[in-house]
Chain A
Amino acid sequence: MSTAPVVEDLVKAEYEHGFVTEIDADTLPPGLDEEVIAAISARKGEPDFMLEWRLKAFRHWQGMTTPQWAAVDYPPIDFQAISYFSAPRKKEGPKSLDEVDPALLETYNKLGIPIEEQKALAGIAVDAVFDSVSVATTFREKLAEAGVIFCSISEAVRDHPDLVRPYLGSVVPYTDNFYAALNAAVFSDGTFVYIPRGVRCPMELSTYFRINARNTGQFERTLIVAEEGSYVSYLEGCTAPMRDENQLHAAVVELIAMDDAQIKYSTVQNWYPGDERGRGGIYNFVTKRGDCRGARSKISWTQVETGSAITWKYPSCLLRGEDSVGEFYSVAVTKGRQQADTGTKMIHMGRNTRSTIVSKGISAGHGQQTYRGLVRIAGRAEGARNHTQCDSLLIGDRCAAHTFPYIEVKNPTAQMEHEATTSKISEDQLFYCRARGLSEEDAVSMIVNGFCKEVFRELPMEFAVEAQKLLAISLEGAVG
């Protein structure tokens, strides 16, 4: 394949993302009250309806308590110690490598795919989010030709309020959960995508999120609207520099697919997971939900989760439209002291709706991993169909893997199957590979990649390559 050498180069290339870019951030002091929210809204020059909505969300949030049901363990978060707004004033300043953990750099060295290179590689438009405000948006003209709107959500709120207003919060209302309410109140930026009727988005859309300024929680908000008969593939990837303190990331992603529309949303997440003893690392508390509003619409979530200290994430599909389809493909890796509680919800409401769930969990070291999923087939959902497969692979005797599926069926024409297995890499498989001259690490990597194949093949090609490398690196030293 022609891209193979390029990928090789990229993999060997110097890491370019793993340091704190000292951007002079326009940062609000820590703390959260109505004034802070008003300040955020004012700085972003938002219309009044946004401020009202944020304040409603904030007032609702004040009456809520942090969710306790997930199988994750972390010290309580002081929401008043977080700074809720930070906007970069200028582009990259001098780089200081001193602040970076060399071990982390080494890892990133094998991985780093620079934004520029990537654009060249696959014609991906990159909307780089430095902390909270989008600072670079590319390929915009090409997209504009097709009528696609791809911009930061702040811009969208200002420039296309009529497009944003009816959809914002319509899939994930601010009352949905604690972190969704917080996000609605304080979200600083994010991405807005609008694909007009009948348009097939000419390129894969991609946003690179980065977390930069110290003590700044990230509250991204993504809204993707695919009109009738349109198609879009959206890639989300993350890298994060070394951190001493835990950083909270509470994003909300809303997808809306009208009749015959398709949205493919792919994520590779490799934020800083904390050190061997579990210090530092990102708290990733994300609410992602897609609404298959139209008939024959389709929303597909694919995620490769290898980073973060704690992941709390359930990309879901509301299957409202007749014959609509929801998909969830996930690979999650937990090692060291990482904890992940992730899964999906498939809510079947329309007739002949179908959903597929494939979840592959790999737990190594002291990693704690939970698949938590819900398949609900409502009384009206005639002919609904679900297939769920969740497998866990355990590496080492101190890790844990749990499966908590919820299945609620109220329609006699529904067909649903759920399968789950938990096992370790078999000695036979390892022996077979080793007998053919592979090192134990390579053998494990190969077996694990095979285990995840069903998910990787759903990723766009560039992402699939990155994901496989990421997996191999993530599991380095996990064996033996």
Chain B
Amino acid sequence: MNAQPLGQFEDWLPGGGAIDLPGADLDWLATARQRALASARALGVPTARHEAWRYTSLKGLIEQAFTPYGAAAPGARPDDLEAHLIAGLDSHRVVLVDGRFAPGLSDLGDLPAGLRIAGLGQLLSQDPDALQGRLTGVAGTGAHLFAALNTVAMRDGLVVLVEPGVRLARPIELIHLAVGTERPGVAQPRTLIALGEGAEATLVERFVGTDEARCCTNLVGEVALGRAATLGHYRVQTEGAQTFHISALHIALESQSRYRGLNVGLGAAWARTDLVARFAGEGAECDLSGLYLAGDRQLIDFHLDVDHAVPGCASRERFKGVLHGKGRAVFDGRVLVARDAQQSDAEMVNNNLLLSANAEIDTKPQLEIYADDVKCSHGTTVGQIEPETLFYLRARGIPAIEARRMLCLAFAEEILADLRPLGPLHGHVAELVGARLERVAFD
């Protein structure tokens, strides 16, 4: 294939032969990086003519001219983090500041036996054998150009390894803190979460930052679930108003494993999330749900790609969105049932509330089916708050604006209810959603 120029994104590649990247001496990693680079060049910069970017323009991102932070990471003080902590959430806390592991801000005391948490850069230099066959094992060269660029340029991130049979009592909390520098910078962190056979873990992943920071996150996450392993993965994106967010999460599920992922998209000026799940063994289950609120010229884009490559697996996708102001959202869900993947069960639902005249939703739920003994469905709705329901509340003396807010909260709560087992996190997110709805002009 022809090598295509990457325009502004050439800058995202490491310069000078990439000698300063961690793990530069590892052959397997060098090979993976070369493949990713070839893939990036083959893909080129996506435009509206690329199906996966049809509704998501890169114009704003390109205009920002983000450049990588380089070897010297911007630092963060404990104060920067303090504002983002959730009181009462008891967790093993890891903090990445602009993509770099910050041991000083992390809280990794009393790790139970069988749980290993380390910075990616650190592990690549100290114990690369722990990563061989795992890092890039799930994501390959990535879902799109940016995932490929991440693979070429990754220098740090987080690795979580859970031994077979280990059940973690406390959740792991990963905080991506965007601080930024004077110059608009892009962080390209990489995460790898691998659970051994029968292991169980909960991961809370939060993306936070300030409205002042002009920066970009380009994350690739890999989740590898061993046989009968279970991961609860709660992702909350509340980045600042000037932040651009790209994340691609690749999930591989061995037989009988279970993945439950919840994605909340509230922040950033422009956010694109790809969730790519692939069943590798029979009897596995994947549950992806999400809530997005877009307003204030925001764009929030979720792309889902669930591959029923083997028989007997179940997937469920439930995404709900509230669009207000000049907010735009894109939902693109694809379920693929491969030939002979009989007894597949897939259900996809996408519901949207459109609250203002300038908001827009583009949704595309797709089924691609090559087997016959399957149960697959998808449903999509776009609508408003029902006048009857509103009338019911108003008849009970609740002012119209308040009633609308209540109904929107209830709409959101259907997704957020999954957070209830993590008490303080649920309270935190519900509060953020409530605060956002306070600002919505219901008219």
Whether the pair A422, B382 counts as a contact (CB closer than 8 A) is no
How many residues on B have C-beta within 8 angstroms of the other chain's C-beta atoms? Answer: 37
A410 near B: Cβ within 8 Å? yes
> Using Cβ atoms and an 8 Å threshold, which residues of chain A touch B371?
394, 397
Whether the pair A405, B380 counts as a contact (CB closer than 8 A) is yes
Closest A residue to B331 by beta carbon equals: A407
> Using Cβ atoms and an 8 Å threshold, which residues of chain B touch A412?
354-357, 359, 384
Which of B67-75, B125-133, B361-369 lies at the binding interface? B361-369
Whether the pair A416, B378 counts as a contact (CB closer than 8 A) is no
Contact string against B for A residues 407-432, beta-carbon threshold 8 Å, 1 for contact and 0 otherwise: 11111111111111111100000000
Tell me, in angstroms, the Cα distance from A403 to B334 when the chains sit together: 9
Tell me, in angstroms, the Cα distance from A69 to B55 when the chains sit together: 16
> Using Cβ atoms and an 8 Å threshold, which residues of chain B touch A401?
367, 369
B4 near A: Cβ within 8 Å? no
A406 near B: Cβ within 8 Å? yes
> Using Cβ atoms and an 8 Å threshold, which residues of chain B touch A407?
361-364, 380, 382
Measured CB to CB, the closest approach of chain B to A378, in angstroms, equals: 10
Tell me, in angstroms, the Cα distance from A413 to B362 when the chains sit together: 15
A379 near B: Cβ within 8 Å? yes
Whether the pair B381, A416 counts as a contact (CB closer than 8 A) is yes
Measured CB to CB, the closest approach of chain B to A363, in angstroms, equals: 8
> Using Cβ atoms and an 8 Å threshold, which residues of chain B touch A397?
339-340, 342, 371-373
B421 near A: Cβ within 8 Å? no
Task: Pick the residue among A406, A418, A424 that contacts B362 (CB under 8 A).
Answer: A406
Whether the pair B364, A409 counts as a contact (CB closer than 8 A) is no
Whether the pair B372, A399 counts as a contact (CB closer than 8 A) is yes
Closest A residue to B347 by beta carbon equals: A421
> Using Cβ atoms and an 8 Å threshold, which residues of chain A touch B55?
408
Task: Pick the residue among B362, B374, B379 that contacts A423 (CB under 8 A).
Answer: B374
For chain B, residues 156 to 197, give those with C-beta under 8 angstroms from any C-beta of chain A: none
Known A-B contacts A407-B364, A411-B357, A412-B355; A395 and B380 likewise in contact (beta carbons under 8 Å): no
Task: Pick the residue among B368, B374, B383 that contacts A414 (CB under 8 A).
Answer: B383
Measured CB to CB, the closest approach of chain A to B183, in angstroms, equals: 36
Contact string against B for A residues 373-384, beta-carbon threshold 8 Å, 1 for contact and 0 otherwise: 000010100000
Whether the pair B369, A420 counts as a contact (CB closer than 8 A) is no
> Using Cβ atoms and an 8 Å threshold, which residues of chain A touch B383?
414-417
Task: Pick the residue among A377, A411, A420 that contacts B367 (CB under 8 A).
Answer: A420
B8 near A: Cβ within 8 Å? no
A53 near B: Cβ within 8 Å? no
Whether the pair B377, A414 counts as a contact (CB closer than 8 A) is no
Task: Pick the residue among A394, A418, A424 that contacts B380 (CB under 8 A).
Answer: A418
Whether the pair B381, A420 counts as a contact (CB closer than 8 A) is no
Whether the pair A423, B376 counts as a contact (CB closer than 8 A) is yes
Tell me, in angstroms, the Cα distance from A413 to B356 when the chains sit together: 9
> Using Cβ atoms and an 8 Å threshold, which residues of chain B touch A379?
357-358
Query: Could you tell me which B residues sit within 8 Å of A by CB distance?
Result: 51, 55, 339-340, 342, 352, 354-384
Q: List 8 A-B contacts (CB under 8 A).
A: A403-B367, A403-B378, A408-B360, A409-B354, A412-B356, A412-B359, A412-B384, A420-B365
What 3 A-B pairs come out closest when comparing CB atoms?
Answer: A394-B372, A418-B380, A422-B376
